[in-house]
Structure 1
Amino acid sequence: MQGHGPPFRTGTDRAGGLADSVFEAALRHPSLVQVSRRTGRDEGTWEPVTARELCDQVVAVAKGFLANGIRFGDRVALMSRTRYEWTVLAHALWSVGAEIVPVYPTSSIEQVRWILNDAQVRAIVVEHENHAMTVAAASDAQSALTAIWQMDRGCLATLVEEGLALDDEMIHRHRAAVLPDQIATITYTSGTTGSPKGCLITHGNLAAECDILLEGWGGILAEPGVQPSILNFLPVAHIYGLMVGVACLRGGIRLGHQPDLSPESLLPALSSFRPTFLFAVPYIFEKIFHKARRTAEGAGNLGLFDKAAAVAVRYAESMERQSTGAGHGPGPSLKVLHAVYDRLVYTRLRAVLGGQVRTAVSGGSTLRRELGLFFAGAGVTVYDGYGLTETAGAITAQPPGEVRFGTVGRPIPGCAVHIAEDGEVWVAGETVFAGYLNNPKATEAVLRDGWFATGDTGHLDEEGYLVITGRKKDIIITSGGKSVAPLPLEEQLRHHPLISQCLIVGDDQPYIAALITVDPEALAHWLALKGKPQWDVSAMTDDEDLRAQIQRAVSRANTRVSQAESIRAFRILPREFTLDSGLMTPTLKLKRRAIAGAYAEDINALYRR
């Protein structure tokens, strides 16, 4: 095995549960703005919620749960997008020693039924009427469900009113009984290979994750003297979004919530909230880059943008070489060019993010090296990290000031990485989960002598930085016996401005092929520039000009691989893969098996030629 040291503890003795940070902040810094929430009257106006106000509301809601019979150890599901109410409800439940069970708001009836029964959920809070109907349809004789509340019907106010007769001291007694090794959340995996598995994440797992990141990376969250602020638009039903929300409250970071990930909703929210730091996934950074390029092209400034992008990459590469001692940094002429393009191009790009973001984190999957270099050269250094639901978030991250683009960094303090003989990444540390709920066989399969076998493949470079090369289960083996990792090809294809998503196929087939989706906004822009009628992509899957554009992207990608690994055929699909269709995970990664099933006929057609 390749390794990077044995597991070790940070030396921090953690006591109590996750809700304690809300109470401690209210005691020590009562006037600190912990959250900014939309007023409801104006989408661009954010109302401050102080540490004292947040704590008071958490206590009041917690009393409402007690009044409704929710007790220590009970499991309560939260089915909602990323909203202020979710944060209050989660900390209220943790205050009384309950365990939360996040449910993706796009879950099907079958998925909800499985989670409710597998976790024996006692009660559930949903966002709106449609969710309530899904829960009603999912409930059966095996369900332990006794109560349901609805956010859009004012459930927080209802819970507060129902708990008025209880004394605050009851909450403090419950909270004092919560220990770090008790379960805080049962977070379910995406279930792409069978029924979703419930990951048992303890209060100590999440506290360690957040505290380690805050201690080691807190200095990059904002300029000195400025309170850090983060707009959380990641799904809180996923461990990544949940971790971000918990870390903000533990670290005194002003937290905002954004439920809609679409660019037309997210970009105005970033502009009005003005975060100092960004947590996102590669898909978001790709969308921002392509939208900026289309905007420049529409204004007749494509040449300027492309030159600025090239300079940004060169500048960041030069800075990277300097940080490793392999170079002297940017020369005088490159510095001058960079300064010019900063005024003309990069400043506008940063304004899209609210104007204050200078550093960011990308997680969920590896950020393409060229894209990381571009953003760094444009003034936003993106720290790539790696983690899973089973590790309560990041288990590796780029060290501050030592970014190696194209890698996912080194193990964070308290954690370690080994590479098994077959290339699988194994990790260990105090953030690793306690096992899968009701599934000892699956637990034994991944927890091995203190190590967690991630199912991802990768290697450590000479400086101990982890490079992820794909998922073991995603490796394609052609009928000729060639093993092909799909990720590098897919990343190369997504670099083309028209291509939104790509799925490489070819298991037990004579050659590699691809399913490709087109970005609707990029297509409209391209049609306008070509002077063509504005057709929907569903009417253009066989358009010769569009196929020629995609073929050029395929040909470029093929230059990076051997002939046996090259894409011989592709199919343009009539629509993108989406969360709502069940073909993407909450971190916007493709559900490969689900897509292969949904588009089986299209895949077969690629091999009937």
Structure 2
Amino acid sequence: MVDGTKKQSLTDNTIGALLMLNASKHGSEIALREKERGIWKETTWAEYAEEVVACAAGLEKIGVKPGKAVLILGDNRARLYGGMLAISMLGAFAMPAYPGATLDELKHFLGEVEIVAAIAEDQEQVDKILELKEAGAKGIDHIIYDEARGLGFYEIDGLMSWDHLIEVGTHDLNEAPGRRDEILHRSKPEDPAIFLHSSGTTGKPKGIVLSQKNVFAAAKNGHDAGAYGEAEEILAYLPMAWVGDYAITVAAALLYRFTVNVPERQETVVRDMREIAPTFYLAAPRSWDQMLTTIQVGMEDSTRLKKWLYHFFMDRAIASETRKLNGKSGGALEPLGRLLGELLVFGPIKDQFGMSRLKNAFTGGEAIGEDTFVFYRALGIKLRQFYGQTEISAISAMQSPNEVRLHTVGKPAPGVEVKIDDSGEILLRSDSVFAGYYNKPEASAEALEDGWLRTGDAGYLEENGQLVVLGRVSEVMYTAGGERYVPNYIENRLKFSPYIKDAAVVGAGLDELTAMVCVDFEAVGHWAEVNGVPYVSYSDLSQRDEVAALLHEAFQRVNKAVTEPLRLQRFVSLPKEFDPDDGEITRTRKLRRKVVQERYADVIAALYDGSKEVHVSAQVTYETGEVGKVERSLPIREV
């Protein structure tokens, strides 16, 4: 903990020791807020510590111990976070899964380690676990649920409410007065903090156990790099199974006493964010894009005067920010324009979207579009990019507020070393690097070399120390003419368009590059409504000639940014989105290239054989779990 009286190194802390320290020195401060039925309920550090310790005692009573795992399933809830801390204090594995995880994905987790219990958000997630057990899966003898609605009449052995678990734990603590402190001091820095998984773009996800030393080292590295300070207000809305959420919402929050605000539901995040007005905010590029689209749509629907004011100040601010990014200075009157713009336009927009108090704003996971990035910087939000992986506990490099370049991810964070090997692969070394993939010695040996993590990403360091990430080393490909390219690099730039949600670039071993794209239904649908373009479904909208014109603009923009041999020549707009339930992308929306190329082999062939159109029968998995087909003839369009 950041405390002058604490001699112990920050990275030598444990979850139990930090929880106890926060409770004893800052017990009356707010650790958590959770919105329930429209009301924000607050929990102090003292109250939070007591509940987590009681949870740990209760979990130990039902068989949770070192070497065993507990599945965490659901959207962000305060009790699920508390459960993760309690599990780690026992030396066991807290294993969060994505709320939309399929039965096959959960079966894979059961095959890795013995899962003795699960903490589920609600009836939907409980039913999923029961269905898993009915399918023959062994383990998960106990299921603890947070929300009781719909579960009152379930008569199932091992099913209990969170409140009952806390009662069991509290009774156990009262029976043995010294047990509370024993649980708080039990774990060591080398003990597990969290059991996460790789994205699984090339196969089954690999288990990644991050130790408590790993996650607190990463949290310290982020703090020392200026990503956040003490006592930040944050919104816990990112998937709990993603390392970025754990790094900020759990590790950094414990180490630097953040107040964690848990929204009521995923659907209320925007409204809840406005009420909280966080000081730190991390979002994927797609989230920043969606917010920008909402702002622009709102302005177009406003009065003529408001539109004029918006464009007057916004256009000038964007031009100013673009000059700064290009190393140029502004005019003498810019500060005055900035002040008036903040009063009339920028301030009200930021207030409307809960960004009025933002001190640190980040994007990561993939490249962000130039227009989006510059817009937020012009709005007065010092948006920055960061780079990290699950294997290094999320944080490895980031941009500083006043040293931002669009093509870089910033400098290595303090405590992180970076080098580039002869093949162009980025290697990282830090106390935050994991010890290896769970029960996979061969994969671990490939990933770790003399203490260095082989990231699998291609990149280079500029003379000023800024890191440039090009894409996956495994995805460096060559055209028939020997031109080297990274498809993910081009795909990300296609996705800079608000109208393109996903893209797959094709061309390895071929004369030209082509692409398959999936339109963003929300953005394109709104555009169609505003412009009077009729449609009846995603499949119909994606093939409209008017929509193709929007896509043409995106392709032409990308072609201007690449060398002539790598310009995209043709494209197809697919009749459905890439879907993790269909196995085409991962839960973190990374392309499973092999699956896509096999599934759309006929489309790829048509892109190169001179065809004018191609008939496709695409697999679709509905919300009910049923699998169907979308059949459509798709035009092959020239760029």
TM-score strictly above 0.5: yes
Which residue is 1:37 aligned to?
Answer: 34
For 1:7, the equivalent position in structure 2 comes to none
Partner Cα separation in structure 2 for residue 599 and residue 260 of structure 1 = 36
Aligned ranges for residues 218-367 of structure 1 at < 5 Å? 227-246=231-250, 247-258=252-263, 265-299=268-302, 308-319=313-324, 329-354=329-354, 355-367=356-368
1:440 positional shift: 0.4
Paired residues of 1:102 and 1:188 also in contact (CA < 8 A): no
Q: Distance in 2 between matches of 1:296 and 1:578?
A: 32
RMSD, aligned α-carbons: 2.7
Which of 95, 100, 105 is equivalent to 2:99?
105
Q: Deviations over 1:94-140 (max 9, x none)?
A: 22222212222222222111111212222222233443344344457
Is residue 190 of structure 2 the alignment partner of residue 181 of structure 1?
Answer: yes
Once the two structures are TM-superposed, the CA of residue 77 in structure 1 deviates from its matched residue by 1.8
**Between 483-492 and 74-83, the greater mean CA deviation after superposition:** 483-492
Q: Which moved more, 1:18-27 or 1:516-525?
A: 516-525
Distance in 2 of aligned mates of 1:581 and 1:126? 24
CA distance in 2, matches of 1:336, 1:536: 48
Letter in 1 for 2:233: S
- 1:465 counterpart letter in structure 2: Q
Choose 481-490 or 49-58, whichever is displaced more. 481-490
Question: How far apart are residue 460 of structure 1 and its match?
Answer: 1.0
1:292: how far off?
Answer: 1.7
One-letter amino acid of the structure 1 residue matched with residue 245 of structure 2: G
Distance in 1, Cα, partners of 2:25 & 2:215 = 22
Is 1:605 the equivalent of 2:614? no
Q: Give SS of 1:417's match.
A: strand
Q: Contact conserved, 1:97 with 1:174, CA < 8 A, in 2?
A: no
User: Which structure carries more relative contact order (alpha carbon 8 Å, separation 6+)?
Assistant: 1
Shift in Å at residue 526 of structure 1? Answer: 2.0
Unpaired stretches in structure 2, ≥5 consecutive residues:
1-6, 149-159, 612-639
Distance 1:477 1:170, change over 3 A: same
Structure 1 partner of 2:166: 160
Q: Give the conservation status (yes or no) of the 8 Å contact 1:267–1:352.
A: no
CA distance in 1, matches of 2:458, 2:163: 48
Q: Do structure 1's residue 419 and structure 2's residue 420 form an aligned pair?
A: yes
Deviation at 1:221, TM superposition (A): 5.2
Residues 450-471 of structure 1 show CA distances to partners (whole Å, capped at 9, x for unaligned) of 1111011111112101111111
In the aligned structure 2, how far is the partner of 1:457 from the partner of 1:582? 25
Task: Provide the C-alpha distance between the structure 2 equivalents of 1:440 and 1:377, rounded to a whole number of angstroms.
Answer: 48
Answer whether contact 1:231 1:257 (CA < 8 A) is retained.
Answer: yes
CA distance in 2, matches of 1:532, 1:418: 51
User: Do the aligned partners of 1:283 and 1:588 also contact (CA within 8 Å) in 2?
Assistant: no
Taking a change above 3 Å as real, the CA distance of residues 534 and 304 of structure 1, as seen in their structure-2 partners, is farther
Task: Give the total of aligned pairs.
Answer: 585
Deviation for aligned residue 1:489: 2.8
Does the C-alpha gap of structure 1 residues 258 and 422 become closer, same or farther in structure 2, counting only changes over 3 Å? farther
Matches within 5 A, 1:342-491: 342-354=342-354, 355-491=356-492
TM-score (norm 1): 0.89
Q: Do 1:192 and 1:594's aligned partners in 2 also have CA atoms closer than 8 Å?
A: no
- Aligned residues of 1:64 and 1:163 also touching (Cα < 8 A): yes
Query: Which aligned pairs between 1:15-54 and structure 2 lie closer than 5 A?
Result: 15-38=12-35, 40-42=36-38, 45-54=39-48
Name whichever of 377-386 and 17-26 sits farther off.
17-26
Decide whether the 8 Å contact of 1:96 with 1:171 is kept in 2. no
- Classify 1:359/1:13 alpha carbon distance in 2 versus 1 (closer, same or farther; 3 Å): closer
Deviations 1:305-349 (A, max 9, x none): 56655433332344456xxxx65x322243344444434432243
Give the structure 2 partner of residue 5 of structure 1: none
What amino acid sits opposite 1:332 in the alignment?
A
Code of the residue aligned with 1:538 in structure 2: it is: S
The aligned runs of 1:485-564 (5 Å cut-off) are 485-564=486-565
Of stretches 560-569 and 486-495 in structure 1, the one that deviates more from structure 2 is 486-495
Task: Output the amino acid matched with 2:76.
Answer: T
Matched residues, percent identical? 26
Amino acid of the structure 2 residue aligned with 1:123: A
* Residue matched to 1:81: 75
Indicate if the aligned counterparts of 1:233 and 1:259 stay in contact, CA closer than 8 A.
no
What's the TM-score, normalizing by structure 2? Answer: 0.85
Classify the secondary structure of the residue corresponding to 1:404: coil
Moved more, 47-56 or 556-565: 556-565
2:126 to 122, 132, 146: 132
Amino acid paired to 2:15: L
Match of 1:148 among 143, 148, 155: 143
Inter-partner Cα distance in structure 1 for 2:575 and 2:296: 24
